[in-house]
Amino acid sequence: MLVGVEKIFDEHIRFRFLSKPDVAQYLINHERKPLVLNNLCEQVKLAENSNIGVRFNGPQFKQIVKAGADLFAKAALDYLEENLITQAEKARRISEASELDDIADCLAEGDEIVNELD
Q: Please tell me whether the overall predicted TM-score, pTM, comes out greater than 0.75 for this model.
A: no
pLDDT of 61: 86
Domain limits of the chain? 2-117
Q: Residues 36, 72: contact at Cβ < 8 Å?
A: yes
Write out the chain's pLDDT in tens, 118 residues: 678 889 999 999 999 999 999 999 999 999 999 999 999 989 888 877 776 667 777 888 899 999 999 999 999 999 998 888 888 888 888 898 888 888 988 888 888 887 777 6
Asked whether the beta carbons of 103 and 46 are under 8 A apart, the reply is no
pLDDT for the residue numbered 53? 66
Length of the chain, in residues: 118
Alpha-carbon distances of 29 from 4, 18, 43, 58, rounded to whole Å? 17, 16, 22, 26
